[in-house]
Amino acid sequence: MINKDETGKIIKQYQRYLKFEKSLSPNTLDAYLTDLDKLMSFLTLEGIAIKDITLDNLQQFVAGLHDIGIHARSQARIISGIKSFFNFLILTDYLEADPSELLEGPKIGFKLPEILTIEEIDAIISAIDLSKNEGQRNKAILETLYSCGLRVSELTNLKLSELYLDEGFIKVEGKGSKQRLVPISPKAINEIKLYILDRNQVTAKKDFEDYLFLSRRGTNLSRIMIFHMIKELATTAGIKKNISPHTFRHSFATHLLEGGANLRAIQSMLGHETIATTEIYTHIDRNMLRSEIIEHHPRNIKYRRNNAPENEQ
């Protein structure tokens, strides 16, 4: 027999545990409780008390999630929340044995992101028609994407006031409005400076004066525009891979890592939320970040070689 008052009391205790002991954010806390509510609804329908639940019951619950079309990743998240709940019940001595201990999640395939070789990136950039008005702009876009490892949204929102080209950095606003300084390579700086000469011929519309990359209409570019531009250039270059703007970001990180760059520096430059903590930004010197990208990025190695004095070549 289900005791609703007892169940409600347990869930309130669990909520306090997540909030104060686990220090979960409000959104994460809501997600845990929403997923737990799915299990509670199942138990109510089946007439099963929390103390009486078995592994078979939990497996039946998970099978039901699959049957109603819940995605495998969502199933895995729900199962993770269930395990957290039963772990709490063990910690508080409400249960002696954990029925979720042997509960397995769905198999989630891991697909490695598509990566471009340096030669393929060269081929795509070489496919740009520089005789067109947007040619130099598109070249600057691709060099910036690849040289800085930006998300496409970060690129389209890049402002002139956020360029510190003399210092070799750009300021980027990433997910959650978190800002970071990203080293920018001499090659990308050169292409941006060439593009700005063309940009000065475009009349920016009101509220778009500070955007770096402008459309013909004088507004900032959309992510879809960048996506289509890259797709068309890849087709022209004969690249068969299924690529997107994010492919340049993956390639940036892979090529730096293969070149021997510090992994923690790469993660910070990418602005990954899971590691972009205050502690990391405190302990990684910005000059070190810049030296990592300048020394190890293949674009910069080639640029240095091509622009070295004759007696050094």
Written as tens digits, the pLDDT of the chain (313 aa) is: 446 677 888 999 999 999 888 888 888 888 889 889 888 888 888 889 888 999 999 988 888 777 666 777 788 888 999 999 999 999 998 898 999 988 887 766 555 567 899 999 999 999 999 999 999 999 999 999 999 999 999 999 999 999 999 999 999 988 777 888 999 999 999 999 999 999 999 999 999 999 999 999 999 999 899 999 999 999 999 998 888 898 898 888 878 766 766 656 777 788 765 433 323 223 344 555 566 666 667 777 667 677 766 555 5
Same domain, 52 and 192: no
Q: Give the domain range for residue 36.
A: 4-91
Write down the pLDDT at residue 70.
75
207 and 262 belong to one structural domain: yes
Domains contained in the chain, number: 2
Confidence (pLDDT) at 206: 95
Pick from 91, 109, 137: which residue ends a domain? Answer: 91
Angle at 129 between CA 125 and CA 130, to 5 degrees: 95
Domain harbouring 289, CATH code? 1.10.443.10
Q: Are residues 132 and 273 in the same domain?
A: yes
Query: What pLDDT score does 42 carry?
Result: 85
Instruction: Enumerate the β-bridge partners of residue 181.
Output: 171
Crossing angle of the two packed helices 223-236 and 245-258, in degrees rounded to 10:
70
The answer on 85 and 37 residing in a single domain is: yes
Say what the pLDDT of residue 277 is.
Answer: 30
Record the pTM.
0.57
Cβ atoms of residues 154 and 173 within 8 Å: yes
Residue 102 lies in a domain: no
Return d(Cα 234, Cα 45) in angstroms, integer.
54
The domain spanning residue 31 has which CATH number?
1.10.150
Asked if residues 100 and 90 have their Cβ atoms less than 8 Å apart, the reply is no
Place of tokens 């008390």: 49
pLDDT of residue 293: 64
Q: Give me the phi and psi of 142, to 5 degrees please.
A: -70, -40
In this structure, how many other beta carbons lie within 10 angstroms of the beta carbon of residue 306? 9
Amino acid at 251: S
Task: Give the three-state DSSP class for 169.
Answer: strand
What's the distance, Cα to Cα, between the start and end of the chain in Å? 84
**Residues whose CB is less than 8 angstroms from the CB of residue 185 and which lie 6 or more positions away in sequence, other chains included:** 143, 147, 148, 293, 294, 297, 299, 300, 303
Q: Which residues are catalytic?
A: 151, 175, 246, 249, 272, 281
Token readout for 5 is 């008052």
* Shared domain check, 164 and 41: no
